[in-house]
Amino acid sequence: MIVDVLIAGAGGAGYPAAFRLNKAGLKVAMADPKGELGGNCLYQGCVPSKTMRELAHLYLRARKLLGFNEVVSFEKVQDHKDFVQETRFKQHKQELSETSVDFYKGEVEIIDNHHAIIKGEKDAQIEYKYLILASGSGPFVPRFPGSEYCITSDDLYKYKTSIRKLPKEMVIIGGGYIALETASIMNVLGTKVHVLVRSDRVLRGLDTRLVSSLLSMLDKNIDIKFNSPVIEVQKVGENEYKVIYSEKSEKKEITADLVMLATGRKPVYPKGIEKLGLAIGRSGVMVDETIVSSVKNVYAPGDVNGRSMFFHSAVRQSLVAAHNILAGTPIDYMDFESVPKSIFTIPSIAYVGILPEEAKRRGIEIVEASYPLIKDSRAQMYDEAEGEIRLFVERGSLRVIGGWIIGIDAPTMINEIGTVVANGLTARQMADYADQHPMSNESISYAARSIF
Ligand code: ADP
């Protein structure tokens, strides 16, 4: 079959471009071995983990505010998670049926710059003008003795997971956002969680002040051990594992019924990718802001380029790629800097734009505007009145270049600050806005007004 565009992967980086290009009249083929749209995010990533997180938060609130004291049914939590995933699979099927995109359940293998095979139930030969590599990412699994006994987040969150009994004791290896989010969720649901962090800090690369605030707010029942690299995992019983790690050069151990590796994610490349002769860097396929790779008919949005591994970022990158393919010349550009990011711990944090450490590195002088959530009415309603909203404002222009929210509704509210950052608005414009009362957003305007 001859197509204008072949898309490898039907996640956030794949299907938005497929729909856009198809709507504009191009012939599009898209393939994914899952046979579903939504990628790893929906199948085993953000949607299921955040569903579990919301239920855990609800349970915590009911316990704290209403005296609810029943033990949570983990099976019920997992059933609801599966239900949400099914709902979205169906929704995407409907959306796909409204297009004329040729969707294949199968894996793309590259033959050369204009040819590929889709390996599936029936192999299909495809000739394409443009290729969108949207094959995403998967967990990075380090090898050490007994690493085969560890699950990854994919196993816990995947659709119809077999992990349906709440572990009593769980070890999570890693110090990134997946480790901390999973620790928070499982801790609230009733598991004793230990987190083994190799170095002396979590969330490497993130502004240290923000990280310290988050750590100080996490439930003290979560046992985070710093400078504690894992040495070995032994299976000592039916569902029992001994995790041996070193702490201050001493060998120590924890026995747990579930051990999860959360040691980062790495790009997934289709077979035969080397035939394209693409430049591949340390984090993935190299792309510029137009999302084109070093080969001019190959675009690589989303996790596969490793620049901003978030579903919502992938969606926008996918559209940028589609617009540039349609125009045949660069007309659209990805704004990587204004992508909001959240750590969905309980409580959560969210941030966007340039934070103080980065501003200092770039020599940008900032003024900080802030508001403590202890004064926020909605935070008081939930008795979650800790944390803050903080805006980073360029001295002189008063342009808001970044911000963070620590505490209630952070991942929802960060989008308002993101819109301000992306559009170059000023703290004055934010201060003039009548944010909704009594919602936590009103504290965003209060934060902006703090410097006037
Ligand atoms: P992104 O957010 O960048 O879209 P995801 O990891 O969520 O990333 O989704 C990538 C999708 O690509 C997954 O559903 C995966 O099954 C699919 N995929 C991976 N390799 C191939 C391939 N060779 N051909 C087709 N699809 C692929």
Q: Which CATH number fits domain 147-263: 1.10.3720.10, 3.40.50.2000, 3.50.50.60, 3.30.930.10?
A: 3.50.50.60
Centroid of ligand 1 to alpha carbon of 115 (angstroms): 19
pLDDT at 72: 93
Residues with CB under 6 A from ligand 1: 8-14, 31-34, 39-41, 107-108, 134-137, 268, 270, 302-304, 311, 314
Task: Supply the pLDDT for residue 121.
Answer: 83
How many angstroms separate the alpha carbon of residue 415 from the centre of ligand 1? Answer: 26
pLDDT reported for residue 331: 98
Angle CA(50)–CA(54)–CA(60) in degrees, nearest 5?
140
User: What is the Cα–Cα distance from 168 to 182, expressed in whole angstroms?
Assistant: 14
Three-point CA angle 83, 86, 88, nearest 5°: 110
What are the residues whose beta carbons fall under 8 Å from the beta carbon of 308, sequence distance 6 or more?
Answer: 317, 336, 339
Helices (H), 218-368: 311-327, 356-362
Of the residues 135, 269, 283, 312, which should be mutated to test ligand 1's pocket, given the most ligand atoms within 8 Å of the CB?
A: 135
| Ligand 1 center to 302 CA (angstroms) | 9
Residue 54 CA to ligand 1 centre (angstroms): 26
Kindly give the distance from the C-alpha atom of residue 136 to the centroid of ligand 1, in angstroms, as a whole number: 4
Q: What is the pLDDT of residue 122?
A: 82
H or E segment and range at residue 181: helix 177-189
If one residue of 5, 30, 40 were mutated to test the ligand 1 pocket, choosing by the most ligand atoms within 8 A of its CB, it would be: 40
Residue 248 pLDDT: 87
Q: Which atom of ligand 1 is nearest to the CA of 36?
A: 14
Residue of minimum CA distance from atom 10 in ligand 1: 136
Low-confidence residues of the chain, pLDDT below 70? none
For ligand 1, the distance from its centroid to the CA atom of residue 162, given in whole angstroms, is 22
| CATH class of this structure's domain 2-139+266-337 | alpha beta
The closest residue, in CA terms, to atom 13 on ligand 1 is: 39
- Closest atom of ligand 1 relative to the 41 alpha carbon: 7
Tell me how far the alpha carbon of residue 204 lies from the centroid of ligand 1, in angstroms.
26
Q: 5, 28, 32, 128: which to mutate for ligand 1, most atoms within 8 A of CB?
A: 32
What's the pLDDT at 15?
A: 98
Q: Which of 122, 117, 60, 54 is nearest to 84 (CA)?
A: 54
Q: Which atom of ligand 1 is nearest to the CA of 137?
A: 6
| CATH for the stretch 347-449 | 3.30.390.30
Question: How open is the CA angle 368-371-376, to the nearest 5 degrees?
Answer: 165
Q: At what angle do helices 46-66 and 177-189 cross, to 10 degrees?
A: 40
SS3 labels along 10-63: CCCCCHHHHHHHHHCCCCEEEEECCCCCCHHHHHHCHHHHHHHHHHHHHHHHHH
Contact at 8 Å (CB) between 13 and 134? yes
Same fold, 2-139+266-337 and 347-449: no
Domain ranges of the chain: 2-139+266-337, 147-263, 347-449
Which of 154, 157, 268 is the best mutation target for the ligand 1 pocket, counting ligand atoms within 8 Å of the beta carbon and taking the most? 268
Taking the CA of residue 39 as reference, the ligand 1 atom at the shortest distance is 14
CB 337 within 8 A of CB 412: no
- Report the 10 Å Cβ neighbour count for 66: 8
Atom 8 in ligand 1: residue holding the nearest Cα: 136
Centre of ligand 1 from the C-alpha of residue 451, in Å: 46
